């Protein structure tokens, strides 16, 4: 695909991404009604606190997606609809022990009634099927692993970052040669591409960690894709708090539903025997152990 774009064309910008735009209302006009409006309560957004793994990086990067200034936001709200907590744009640690105390509520998502930029009604928070940013990070990984020889991992990586930010903040340039983008990269520690980094390791920094950390943010609200990518690659490297169940191991899969077990027991038994057990830790054939 990368070597023959005339025969196998791909997205060239965010404008061509596969996105179903919600209508931003509570009126049911399927398929354009945002399911987070009709199936979830406002309290599901403004009560839970965002985790530090997600918010602290955006904050340390001075990321335009959470900028509340008039440069990229509205002067009081940001494009991702995230409210600052008592201490600013910080969260709580992942995997804390429930009921252990000390989990002061910090940053959270605005809900439907208290912000026009709430992800419950923002047209930017649409039904993303595949984004231009995701495509660029796929190409970055392929180039870094020498699966393709057209383009460089660095170029695809930067295009992915620019497209990911531009999707939420249209005022931010999608062009990676734009001085606004190059200045952003130069001023932001730890996200610049580094050809000297080791390709892949599951501790500390690596090329795959940088690609998939940025891809993690680009897949925000994109169904279960973050989980799928983590299972496939082991990236980004996620924190493990003391309150995690399953021995701190990320579930590899979901169990077959009870109705499948009850209505199709013969084929269910064959499938379970073939795959090695109907358990959350049974690896899929394509997963990274």
Residue 279 confidence (pLDDT): 95
CB 190 within 8 A of CB 63: no
Q: Please, is 242 exposed, middle or buried when counting C-beta atoms within 10 Å of its C-beta (0-12, 13-18, 19+)?
A: exposed
Do 156 and 221 sit in the same domain of this protein?
yes
Whether residue 31 lies inside any domain: the answer is yes
Element holding 83 (H helix, E strand)? strand 82-83
Q: Same domain, yes or no, for 101 and 133? A: no
Residues 138 and 246 in one domain: yes
| pLDDT, one tens digit for every residue, the chain (289 residues) | 767 888 989 999 999 999 988 776 666 667 777 777 777 788 888 888 899 999 999 999 999 999 999 899 888 889 899 999 989 999 999 888 877 766 788 999 998 877 777 888 777 777 899 999 999 999 999 999 999 988 999 999 999 999 999 999 999 999 999 999 999 999 999 999 999 999 999 999 999 999 999 999 999 989 899 999 999 999 999 999 888 999 999 999 999 999 999 999 999 999 999 999 999 999 988 887 6
Q: Indicate which CATH number applies to the domain containing 194.
A: 1.20.120.840
Residue 157 structure tokens: 């990586």
- 60 and 155 part of one domain: no
Model pLDDT, residue 67:
95
5 lies in a domain? no
pLDDT of residue 197: 97
Same domain assignment for residues 71 and 104? yes
Do 139 and 202 share a domain, yes or no? Answer: yes
**CB–CB of 50/90 below 8 Å?**
no
Instruction: Look at residue 166 and tell me if it is in a domain.
Output: yes
The reported pTM is: 0.91
Q: Is 45 exposed, middle or buried (0-12, 13-18, 19+ CB in 10 A)?
A: buried
Is residue 90 assigned to a domain?
A: yes
pLDDT value of residue 56: 96
- For residue 113, what pLDDT is reported? 78
Residue 3 forms part of a structural domain:
no
In a domain, 11, yes or no: no
12 inside domain = no
Q: What is the pLDDT of residue 124?
A: 74
- CA distances from residue 261 to 257, 258, 267, 278 in whole angstroms, order as listed: 7, 5, 9, 10
Compute CA 5 distance to the chain's CA centroid, rounded to the nearest angstrom. 27
Q: What is the pLDDT of residue 153?
A: 97
Number of domains in the chain: 3
Which of 64, 92, 125 is the C-terminal boundary of a domain?
A: 125
User: Sign (positive/negative) of CA torsion 142, 146, 151, 152?
Assistant: positive
The reply to whether 140 and 245 lie within a common domain is yes
Q: What range does the domain containing 114 cover?
A: 22-125
Domain boundary (125, 142, 177) is at 125
Residue 33, number of CB atoms within 10 A of its CB = 17
């Amino acid at each position: 695909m990368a070597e023959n774009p005339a025969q196998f064309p791909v997205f060239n910008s965010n404008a061509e991404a596969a996105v179903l735009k919600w209508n931003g209302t509570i009126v049911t006009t399927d398929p354009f009604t945002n399911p987070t409006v009709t199936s979830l309560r406002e309290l599901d957004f403004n009560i839970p606190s965002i985790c530090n793994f997600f918010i602290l990086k955006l904050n340390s990067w001075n990321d335009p997606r959470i900028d509340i200034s008039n440069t990229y936001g509205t002067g009081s709200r940001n494009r991702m609809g995230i409210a600052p907590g008592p201490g600013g744009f910080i969260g709580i640690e992942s995997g804390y022990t429930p009921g252990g105390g000390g989990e002061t509520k910090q940053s959270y998502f605005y809900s439907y009634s208290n912000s026009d930029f709430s992800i419950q009604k923002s047209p930017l928070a649409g039904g993303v099927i595949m984004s231009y940013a995701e495509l660029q990070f796929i190409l970055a990984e392929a180039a870094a692993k020498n699966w393709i020889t057209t383009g460089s991992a660095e170029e695809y990586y930067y295009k992915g970052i620019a497209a990911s930010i531009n999707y939420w903040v249209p005022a931010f340039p999608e062009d990676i040669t734009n001085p606004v983008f190059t200045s952003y990269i130069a001023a932001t520690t730890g996200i610049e591409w580094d050809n000297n980094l080791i390709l892949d390791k599951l501790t500390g920094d690596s090329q795959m960690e940088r690609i998939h950390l940025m891809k993690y943010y680009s897949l925000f609200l994109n169904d279960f894709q973050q989980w799928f990518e983590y299972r496939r690659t082991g990236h980004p490297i996620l924190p493990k708090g003391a309150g995690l169940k399953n021995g701190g191991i990320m579930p590899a899969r979901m169990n077959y539903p009870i109705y499948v077990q009850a209505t199709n027991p013969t084929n269910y038994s064959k499938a379970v025997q073939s795959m090695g057990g109907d358990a959350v830790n049974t690896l899929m054939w394509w997963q990274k152990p």
